[in-house]
Structure 1
Amino acid sequence: MEQKTEKFTFAVVTMSDKGSRGEREDTSGAYLLKTLTSEGYIQVSYIIVPDNVPVITKTLIELADKEQVALVVTTGGTGVAPTDVTPEAMQQVIEKEIPGMAEAMRYESMKKTSRAMLSRGKVGIRGATLIVNLPGSLKAVKENLEVLLPVLPHALEKIRGDDGDCGR
């Protein structure tokens, strides 16, 4: 049974000090927009914000609570640099964490580079919104999104109240 994604809205939020100042091109965000749209998701928003916990928190809460976006995908700020604060912001935003999705991304990335173990990205739910943190590099975004794409429609349906059987 093929799942349809065209009923799901999405937003991309890039966490980047340089990107928010227009000093760096956001290739990861652009890739996410193109790929999710080609998968049938409906773009609602695309935002570049600085690596700042209050700004990130406010942005994610607005997208989930006010805009009621089904899927928010972030890129950047998941590493161990002093400015990487996306996981700390997520901790203030999400109501339920989905560690299996983050673990699956790190597991697959570890097959390609040992540096993947430095990623601290989270996946969680706020209300009826799934929020996914991806690393900032275009290469890592491609690899991580590939892991998630097959399960996203089912996850979004369940989060939005589908009571069908999960067994395959």
Structure 2
Amino acid sequence: MWRVGILTASDKGYRGEREDRSGREIATLVTRIGGERIVHEVIPDEWAVIRRTLIRMCDQEQVDLILTTGGTGFAPRDVTPEATRSVIEREVPGIPEAMRLASLEKTKFAVLSRSVAGIRGSTLIINLPGSPKAVRECLEAILDVLPHALEILTERFGDHD
């Protein structure tokens, strides 16, 4: 069972003006890889808050995987990638590349995604877009490789064919 943290960066969601459908979509999809939601938070689009929450989820909650949603676009308050880069120790560029490639088959706007993925300690952090549809498309593009990545990262190896 993988310990999963879900972080929704949304000013409107934080204020209760918008339902967190993207976070719910993530929670549903991670069950397909044996993910168990340990923590799920909706926070404002603020660099310091995102950074502090990511650090706490990694270092104190000790989740194996953090999936963020929101804050990856071009709006001035879209700072999730910058906050993520400030806490990771190693970047994993292939994950967002795969998500963008899969999304590009559906929309030309996929090239505008600024998603980042990286490692802090033994936690993998992946930024996903903010819409439930985009979350589903991006997560489905990488879902089947996540168990292997987490096995290597956490040194909890399963059987490999």
Q: TM-score, normalised by structure 1?
A: 0.91
**Gap runs ≥5 in structure 1:** 1-6
Out of 124, 143, 146, the position equivalent to 2:140 is 146
Instruction: Name the aligned partner's letter for residue 92 of structure 2.
Output: I
Q: Report the CA distance between 1:26 and its aligned residue.
A: 0.8
Moved over 3 A (4+): 162-166
The residue aligned with 2:18 is 24
The residue aligned with 2:129 is 135
Q: Report the CA distance between 1:57 and its aligned residue.
A: 0.2
**2:33–2:144 Cα contact (<8 Å) kept:** no
**CA root-mean-square deviation:** 1.7
Q: Report the CA distance between 1:68 and its aligned residue.
A: 0.7
Matched, 1:44 2:61: no
Q: Report the CA distance between 1:165 and its aligned residue.
A: 10
Q: What is the CA–CA distance in structure 1 between the aligned matches of 2:81 and 2:104, rounded to whole Å?
A: 19
Matched, 1:78 2:72: yes
Q: Report the CA distance between 1:39 and its aligned residue.
A: 3.6
Instruction: Name the aligned partner's letter for residue 20 of structure 1.
Output: Y
Q: Report the CA distance between 1:161 and its aligned residue.
A: 2.5
Q: What is the CA–CA distance in structure 1 between the aligned matches of 2:111 and 2:38, rounded to whole Å?
A: 32
Q: Once the two structures are superposed, what CA deviation does each residue of 1:79-124 show, in whole Å capped at 9, x if it has no partner? A: 1111100011011010010000110000110111111111001010
Matched, 1:160 2:154: yes
How do 1:46-65 and structure 2 match up within 5 A? Answer: 46-65=40-59
Q: Report the CA distance between 1:163 and its aligned residue.
A: 7.4
Calculate percent identity across the aligned residue pairs: 53
Q: What is the CA–CA distance in structure 2 between the aligned matches of 1:53 and 1:157, rounded to whole Å?
A: 30
Instruction: Name the aligned partner's letter for residue 148 of structure 2.
Output: H
Equivalenced residues, count? 161
Matched, 1:35 2:29: yes
Aligned partner of residue 22 in structure 1, secondary structure:
coil
Change in 2 beyond 3 A, CA 1:22/1:160: same
Q: Once the two structures are superposed, what CA deviation does each residue of 1:18-56 show, in whole Å capped at 9, x if it has no partner? A: 000000011100111122135421110000000000000
